[in-house]
Amino acid sequence: MTWLITGGAGYIGAHVARAMAADGERVVALDDLSAGVPARLPASVPLVTGSTMDADLLRRVFAEHEVTGVVHLAARKQVAESVDRPTYYYRENVGGLGTLLDAVAEAGIERFLFSSSAAVYGNPDVDLITEDTPCAPVNPYGETKLTGEWLVRAAGRAHGIATVCLRYFNVAGAAAPELADTGVFNIVPMVFDRLTRDEAPRIFGDDYPTPDGTCVRDYIHVADLAEAHLAAARRLAGAGPAGDLTVNIGRGEGVSVRELISVIGDVTGDRRAPVVEGRRPGDAPRAVASAARAAEELGWRARRTVPEMVDSAWRGWRLHHGK
């Protein structure tokens, strides 16, 4: 098979492209380079610069590279921005997906892997979030991911496309320093940023109903996430002409914010005490995945630990920020 990876030069996309190429899959990347970095991609993976909104470009890429499957990661992904710019997020995330699916159906492509998010669940009051936990997103970003899942499944049923939707939890780490996340939007780089500026880490709320009062989350190493995509692609490659599967991608273990900051202190050697501030609106006390279906359906389990995530992310941070 030949797989098109949209968003293939991004933080997650490049890890997926490298993992699939290393496993012998033929891969081509499509990226508008708004956040992607071409140097992240291995030399064996051609990069096409452009958008999933460009139907003519998609047709050319599918034909020229004889694409037989699509891994769709390209999306706008910042929760706060989605609250400020909801129409932009719906246009990019849902509109772009619709254009892509139309082109996929027109080209007769029968395998489609969709990058979704645990944001589709919102803030469920459960110990472990299963794929059957009701979805109730609390921001436009999560809404676009849930709408995207509906659209993917509907297109799959209408056009005989086998589909997989991966709902992944909090991603961290890097397979190599040059592949590290360069943004400061998630908790690990946010803490690194504070320490680099000689400021204490921040905790938003320490009065939650959790063992230490801080929010508990499920963290997944980006290299494990890339391997989950590879496992899902293998599943699709062996699937019949139709069918759909939705799978959580997480470790199934909760780590509190205070525990995570302690691990960061151990890795960086900067163990200054965090500053506690007020709660942020919409933060759930606990959001931890059930990873059972991923093991059963994909034969996949996360292998890397939280200290490994933090250590690899710190090496990437130092490379990109000169510390």
Please identify every residue annotated as catalytic: 141
Domain with CATH 3.40.50.720 in the chain: 2-171+219-249
pLDDT attached to residue 240: 66
Share of the chain above pLDDT 70, in %: 99
Token code pair at residue 194:
């504070």
Percent of the chain with pLDDT over 90: 94
Return the CATH superfamily for domain 2-171+219-249: NAD(P)-binding Rossmann-like Domain (3.40.50.720)
Q: What's the confidence (pLDDT) of residue 231?
A: 97
Whole-number Å distance between alpha carbons of 13 and 225: 10
Q: What pLDDT, in 10s, does the model give residues 35-91?
A: 999 999 999 999 999 999 999 999 999 999 999 999 999 999 999 899 999 999 999
CB atoms within 10 A of CB 206: 17
Confirm if 121 and 129 have CB atoms less than 8 A apart: yes
Q: How far apart are CA 151 and CA 289, in angstroms?
A: 23
Burial 56-85 (b: 16+ CB within 10 A, else e): ebbeebbeebebbbbbbbbbbbebebbeee
Give tens-digit pLDDT for 132-172.
999 999 999 999 999 999 999 999 999 999 999 999 999 99
Using 50, 70 and 90 to split pLDDT, how confident is the model at 281? Answer: confident
Q: At 168, give phi and psi (nearest 5°).
A: -105, 155
Q: For the residues 290-319, what does the mean pLDDT come to?
A: 97
Its pTM stands at 0.96
* Spatial distance between the Cα atoms of 304 and 288, rounded to a whole number of angstroms: 16
Name the pairing type of β-strands 162-168 and 244-249: parallel
Q: Closest Cα partner for 250 from 293, 208, 211?
A: 293
State the CB neighbour count (10 A cutoff) for residue 194. Answer: 20
pLDDT of residue 187 exceeding 70: yes
pLDDT of residue 242: 62
Q: What is the pLDDT of residues 233-263, one digit of tens each?
A: 999 998 766 689 999 999 999 999 999 999 9
**How many Å apart are CA 122 and CA 144, to the nearest integer?**
12
Q: Residue 323 has what pLDDT?
A: 60
CATH 3.90.25.10 domain locations along the chain: 173-218+251-321
pLDDT of residue 243: 81
User: What topology is assigned to 173-218+251-321 in CATH?
Assistant: UDP-galactose 4-epimerase; domain 1 (3.90.25)
Distance CA(264)–CA(227), nearest Å, equals: 24
Rounded mean pLDDT of 183-206? 95
pLDDT at 268 over 70: yes
Q: DSSP letters of 124-166?
A: ---SSB-TTSPP--SSHHHHHHHHHHHHHHHHHHHHT-EEEEE
Closest CA to 38 of 48, 24, 27: 48
Cβ-based neighbour number of residue 273 at 10 Å: 10
Position 182 scores a pLDDT of 87
Cβ-based burial of 24 (10 A; exposed 0-12, middle 13-18, buried ≥19): exposed
